[in-house]
Amino acid sequence: MPLSVVARITEKREPATLTRIDGKRAVRVSARADTAMVTPIQARRDIHEQVIPDLLAKYPGLAVETEEGARDESDLLGTLGILVPIVLIAINALIVFVPFVVSMLGGLVAATLGILFVLPALVMIAEGRRE
């Protein structure tokens, strides 16, 4: 099956770069499946069963690593599995401790105002009465 039947190929002008993985030249190929025609799972299966064996037969030294998107998705889900509970605990801690801290700060502010303004005013009033 010709590639033009199953894919639209576009060329772009970009600075030339060589990608290397472990010192070997590499190319990264990505695609989006037209879900009206095929599901991503079916497309991946067809590539594994039809395209990759033909490429390996034609180019004996070729190494193909697939499932990059699935691996990225798996890594993302693993990270979310760790971060979501941590974030939920942090949100609950904020809900519990913010009112407590605000009430303490409110008391602290009142105590500070009392020490800085009220007590000196009382001392000045008492001194004024003594004279």
Closest CA to 28 of 74, 55, 65: 65
Q: How confident is the model at residue 24 (pLDDT cuts 50, 70, 90)?
A: confident
Distance CA 63, CA 52 (A): 10
Q: What is the pLDDT of residue 69?
A: 57
> Is 130 a residue whose pLDDT tops 60?
no
* pTM greater than 0.75: no
C-alpha pair distances (Å), 5 with each of 1, 2, 12, 60: 7, 6, 20, 26
> Does residue 1 sit in helix, strand or coil?
coil
CB atoms within 10 A of CB 93: 10
Return the structure tokens found at 114: 């009392």
Tens-digit pLDDT profile for residues 68-123: 655 566 677 777 788 888 888 888 777 777 677 667 777 677 667 666 776 677 66
